[in-house]
């Protein structure tokens, strides 16, 4: 996390100390680095220079309007999974015409909205969805652009909750059924078959499974071409992992290296079989763009010694950061200000009334009550998965730009949490 450094003994985001942010905005608070965000996006953008390619940010990772606005200004497209996310893209100044609509459960209303706003493409995941989309487009007098999300049955070798490319997963059309499904799509009067898509999972440190999936998609494109079904874009999805600081993990594959290998395979295939017929390559990165741009800043409330464990109780909780409780994710923890003394091993836990409310286990700290901790690499799947469990307001969000800290989402108040509720008369 190159934009989070120790300066004069205090952890900073770019040029602003996290202690100053806590004093000004309180805790828990998500803090993001603008420079890190742009650096990560440009790793994709620069690798695509001179190519017919589009980077569609998977906004489920972090959908703050300020984040979306910054990426839209850099030319990003977007990968969405709901009508609400499409409205966020539009509110942030993004282009629906550069937006891919993924997800297994699109409603009629979401399909109508996307068609009316001029969505680039629907990633369709089942035959029933094809028929529903055909009907919706017909009623609007439109033709819906579609690609099929093909499930290539490739093992992404990642946590089972974030693996999406095996036969047992709910996502996509099985590879063995893909040809017949494409035939069905091509026969429907209100659909335009324009692409092919896959997404095999998240937090991949090795790109070998992604390249294996690419080979299977290329094989299917050749088969479709032979049947007169011409594919205009190839969507590789996302999945490239990041370094969470887990001991023993190998470094994540560099984005530029992965994209170079993808383009090399596409070029070799086109030279052999399809020279002169263009195909756009689309990527849908999320975590690798935003994860290491952010930290969750939290304050220690109590240190509670125990017989078997010592607990460091902080004001952030599982409702603020769900990843550890959901799939035992390992998040690095740093003290904002170093303190001398003998380290004690603690489980870092929150105040929520659940035994699963923990942020980090067995961490050596020299901290005291009132000290600040930073949960590192928390920019992805932090705020977007946050909830109001225990009637806890969601955290504030800050973007640091050089020497300036900007509030881009204020903290929720208790009154706002029940403002939509009413009692019986």
What residues are annotated to the active site? Answer: 353
HSE of 354, CA atoms in CB hemisphere, 13 A: 15
| DSSP structural state of residue 299 | E
CB atoms within 10 A of CB 28: 26
The first and second tokens of residue 295, run together, are: 């930290």
| DSSP structural state of residue 254 | P
| Structural contact between residues 85 and 65, judged by C-beta atoms closer than 8 angstroms | no
The first and second tokens of residue 425, run together, are: 């008369």
Rounded distance between C-alpha atoms, residue 109 and residue 246, angstroms: 42
| DSSP structural state of residue 163 | B
CB atoms within 10 A of CB 203: 23
| Structural contact between residues 373 and 28, judged by C-beta atoms closer than 8 angstroms | no
Output the CA angle 95-96-98, nearest 5 degrees: 70
Residues constituting the chain? 425
């Amino acid at each position: 996390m190159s934009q989070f450094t120790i300066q004069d003994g205090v952890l900073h985001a770019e040029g602003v100390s996290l202690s100053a942010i806590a004093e000004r905005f309180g805790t828990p608070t998500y803090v993001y680095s603008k420079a890190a965000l742009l650096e990560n996006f440009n790793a994709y953008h620069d690798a695509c220079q001179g190519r017919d390619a589009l980077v569609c940010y998977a906004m489920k990772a972090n959908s703050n309007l300020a984040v979306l606005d910054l990426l839209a200004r850099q030319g990003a497209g977007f990968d969405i999974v709901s009508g609400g996310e499409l409205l966020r893209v539009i509110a942030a100044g993004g282009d629906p015409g550069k937006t891919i609509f993924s997800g297994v459960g699109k409603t009629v209303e979401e399909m109508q909205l996307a068609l009316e706003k001029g969505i680039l493409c629907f990633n369709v995941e089942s035959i029933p969805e094809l028929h529903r989309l055909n009907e919706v487009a017909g009623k609007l007098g439109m033709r819906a652009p579609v690609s099929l999300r093909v499930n290539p049955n490739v093992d992404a070798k990642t946590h089972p909750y974030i693996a999406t490319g095996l036969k047992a997963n709910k996502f996509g059309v099985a590879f063995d059924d893909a040809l017949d499904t494409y035939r069905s799509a091509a026969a429907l009067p209100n659909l335009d078959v324009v692409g092919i898509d896959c997404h095999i999972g998240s937090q991949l440190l090795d790109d070998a499974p992604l390249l294996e999936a690419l080979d299977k998609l290329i094989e299917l494109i050749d088969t479709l071409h032979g049947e007169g079904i011409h594919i205009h874009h190839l969507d590789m999805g996302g999945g490239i992992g990041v370094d969470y600081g887990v001991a023993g993990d190998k470094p994540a594959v560099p984005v530029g290296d992965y994209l170079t290998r993808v383009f090399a395979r596409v070029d070799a295939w086109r030279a052999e079989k399809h020279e002169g017929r263009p195909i756009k390559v689309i990527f849908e990165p999320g975590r690798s763009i935003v994860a290491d741009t952010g930290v969750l800043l939290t304050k220690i409330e109590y240190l509670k010694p125990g017989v078997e464990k010592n607990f460091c109780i902080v004001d952030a909780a599982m409702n603020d950061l769900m990843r550890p409780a959901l799939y035992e994710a390992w998040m690095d923890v740093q003290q904002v200000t170093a303190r001398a003394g003998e380290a004690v091993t603690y489980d870092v836990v929150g105040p929520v009334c659940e035994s699963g409310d923990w942020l980090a286990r067995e961490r050596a700290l020299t901290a005291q009550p009132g000290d600040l901790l930073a949960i590192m690499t928390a920019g992805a799947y932090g705020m977007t998965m946050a909830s109001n469990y225990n009637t806890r307001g969601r955290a504030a969000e800050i973007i640091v730009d050089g020497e300036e800290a900007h509030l881009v989402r204020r903290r929720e108040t208790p009154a706002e949490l029940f403002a939509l509720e009413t009692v019986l008369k």
